[in-house]
Amino acid sequence: DVKVTQSSRYLVKRTGEKVFLECVQDMDHENMFWYRQDPGLGLRLIYFSYDVKMKEKGDIPEGYSVSREKKERFSLILESASTNQTSMYLCASSLAGYGYTFGSGTRLTVV
Amino acid sequence: DQQVKQNSPSLSVQEGRISILNCDYTNSMFDYFLWYKKYPAEGPTFLISISSIKDKNEDGRFTVFLNKSAKHLSLHIVPSQPGDSAVYFCAASEGTGGFKTIFGAGTRLFVKA
């Protein structure tokens, strides 16, 4: 089975901190994604990557950046964390672009 | 502007009966539709999908129906089981590659024993 691993299940950070969320997949998928999940809003795409060192903005990229130096790893960076970035963050990967495999999520609280 | 809408935040069904979860979309360019299931403290898992060239796809107890003219799809679960209790997300994408898949807000299904 494809596995997508997110390094932290829960994180608490202070406003203004730089935050790194890490995601690793083990099935050689080209495509990787970062979503955030908020009540009533579903999953919203922050960034995605279709190849190493390639990245594309999703629907809500403001305040975020990403890094993909290796095929299996896709990092989400909050440059200066703010309270409105408190959310559940979900990483996903896919081979053909359909049928994503998601990680278990990181619940981030910014205080 | 939500392109994929799940208007029912929750649904309660008796075990053994049919569960019907609904989803509407506004973008006529969407050509691939998916349903994901999410348990608490876990990521969503892919459940079933349908291409716009079909109007029905079945996988065991799960069937997805697509009505392109109404821009509506539904997920039927028959018979419903307590283990089906979860949040169900409808999703849609356009073009090749499936990038920028748009998700609905989710419907929480409760199946009562």
C-alpha distances in Å from residue B73, one per residue of A19, A74, A76, B18: 38, 32, 33, 16
Residue A104 touches chain B, beta carbons under 8 Å = yes
- Per-residue model confidence (pLDDT) at position A98: 65
- Per-residue model confidence (pLDDT) at position A53: 86
Mean of the per-residue pLDDT values of chain A: 92
Q: Which residues of A66-94 are buried (b: 16+ CB within 10 A; e: fewer)?
A: bbbeebbbbbbebeebeeebbbbbbbbbb
pLDDT 10s digits, B63-82: 999 999 999 999 999 999 99
- Per-residue model confidence (pLDDT) at position B97: 61
pLDDT 10s digits, A1-37: 659 999 899 999 999 999 999 999 998 888 999 999 9
**A residues 25..84 contacting B (CB < 8 A):** 31, 35, 40-45, 48, 50, 56, 58-59
- % of chain B with per-residue pLDDT over 90: 83
pLDDT 10s digits, B12-53: 999 999 999 999 999 999 999 999 999 988 899 999 999 999
Cβ proximity of B19 and B112 under 8 Å: no
Please give the residue of chain A at the shortest CA–CA distance from B101: A45
- Per-residue model confidence (pLDDT) at position A77: 98
- Per-residue model confidence (pLDDT) at position A2: 59
Residue B40 touches chain A, beta carbons under 8 Å = no
DSSP-based three-state secondary structure for A84 = helix
